[in-house]
Amino acid sequence: MQQRIQQSGQTWRRWKNHLATGTAVLGALVVVAPLLAIFAYLIYKGASSLNWAFFTKVPKPVGEIGGGMENAIVGSGVLLTVASLIGIPIGIAAGVYLAEFGRKRLLSNLVRFTADVLNGVPSIVVGIAVYSLIVVTQRHFSAFSGGVALGIMMIPTVTRTTEEMLLLVPHAVREAALGLGVPNWRSTVSITLRTASAGIITGCMLAFARVAGETAPLLFTAFGNDDKSLALNQPIAALPLQIFVYAVSPYNDWHRLAWAGSLVLIFLIVVSVSLVRYVTSRGVLKGAS
């Protein structure tokens, strides 16, 4: 009798285990499904609308078929260059401070915390702040202001990865450099940063991939431009911005271009994320063991 009760308890427990496993599998499937759906649809729609003109032509006026997004591709390039020039040096330097100079101080905890908070600030709010700082004082929308907004958004990711990567560098490596009489800054730049460079590049690429798809802060900083432009003090087009404008438009041909633009953007991002995966899987630190 007791054995039977025990046995039925066992069965129930086994069933519960199966039930939980089934639920988890189902959950994972439901999570993966939209991703596959989005990718399949994107490739299906995007590939059929991609052509040479997409890369070499600027948009046609409303109602005319054809045209491309050369302006947006060039514009995204300009914006991301400005953003990287701002975000990466500041981010890396801040990371160096946190890892090398202020491990346990109140100040560095404060900086660490603000970096995390900045990471969570909605991108559109960053856009408004940059708008009232640069666009209002300059009295016109500009590529520069868009780059600043994106650069600000890159900083926290770069900082936190730099710090983490530097902390992985063994102390003996620093001590060896200092023991040879090398000044502290030189040891940091040529030894520590170099040892952690693969990991830091990873962080920079992650930050880059993140801001490459940002639209909201560009709405009232870069603003968009139907012509190709390289000028920093003029409004400029950007790929995500152009996708947004075309996606909410009522024209079929513009929808087609929006899909093609999305495919190009995703391709860019997926390539950089996969590159990051590849680099990190080969070992984050080179030379340090």
Partner 1 sequence: MSGKLAERDVVNGRESPSASGLAVARPSAARRYLNAQSDSAFSDGFFKTLMLASALTIFVIVLFIFLELAWQSRMAIAHFGISFLYRSAWNPVSEDFGARPFIYGTLVSSLLALLIAVPLSVSTAVFITEMCPIPLRRSLSFLTELLAAIPSVVYGLWALVVLVPLLRTEINPFLMRTLGWTGFFEGPDYGVSMLAAGVILAIMILPIISSITREVMSTVPQSQREAALALGATRWEMIRISVLPNARLGIAGGIILGLGRALGETMAVTMVIGNRPEIARSLLAPGYTMASVLANEFTEATTSLYLSALIEIGLVLFLVTIVVNALARLLIWSVTRGASSRMA
Binding to partner 1, residues 46-85 (CB under 8 A): none
Does the footprint of partner 1 cover residue 190 (CB under 8 A)? Answer: yes
Does the footprint of partner 1 cover residue 106 (CB under 8 A)? Answer: no
Q: Return the number of the residue (32 or 231) whose C-beta is nearest partner 1.
A: 32
Q: Return the number of the residue (78 or 212) whose C-beta is nearest partner 1.
A: 212
In angstroms, give the least distance from the CB of 254 to partner 1: 11
Does the footprint of partner 1 cover residue 124 (CB under 8 A)? Answer: yes
Q: Measure the N-to-C terminal CA separation of the chain; round to a whole number of Å.
A: 62
76, with CB counted inside 10 A (0-12, 13-18, 19+), is buried
In angstroms, give the least distance from the CB of 259 to partner 1: 7
Q: Return the number of the residue (24 or 230) whose C-beta is nearest partner 1.
A: 24
The binding track of 168-187 with respect to partner 1, each residue x by CB under 8 A or -, is x--------x--xxxxxxx-
Hey, which residues between 234 and 253 contact partner 1 (CB under 8 A)?
A: 240, 243-244, 247-248
Among 161, 192, 195, 225, binds partner 1 (CB under 8 A): 161
In angstroms, give the least distance from the CB of 98 to partner 1: 6
- Look at residue 124 and give its three-state secondary structure: helix
Q: Return the number of the residue (53 or 128) whose C-beta is nearest partner 1.
A: 128
Question: How far apart, in whole angstroms, are the C-alpha atoms of residue 76 and residue 143?
Answer: 10
* Residue found under tokens 């030379």: 287
Does the footprint of partner 1 cover residue 285 (CB under 8 A)? Answer: no
Q: Return the number of the residue (70 or 214) whose C-beta is nearest partner 1.
A: 214
From 46, 57, 82, select the one nearest 217 (Cα to Cα).
Answer: 82
Among 43, 77, 108, 253, binds partner 1 (CB under 8 A): 108
Hey, which residues between 130 and 159 contact partner 1 (CB under 8 A)?
A: 131-133, 152, 155-156, 159
Question: How far apart, in whole angstroms, are the C-alpha atoms of residue 229 and residue 168?
Answer: 43
- Residue 10, both tokens: 């066992």
Residues in contact with partner 1, counted by CB under 8 A, come to a total of 102
Question: How far apart, in whole angstroms, are the C-alpha atoms of residue 184 and residue 275?
Answer: 32
Q: Are 217 and 148 in contact (CB under 8 A)?
A: no
Rounded alpha-carbon distances, angstroms, from residue 109 to 97, 113, 217: 11, 6, 28
In angstroms, give the least distance from the CB of 68 to partner 1: 18
Radius of gyration, CA atoms only, the chain: 25
Residue type (1 letter), 207: A
Total length of the chain: 289
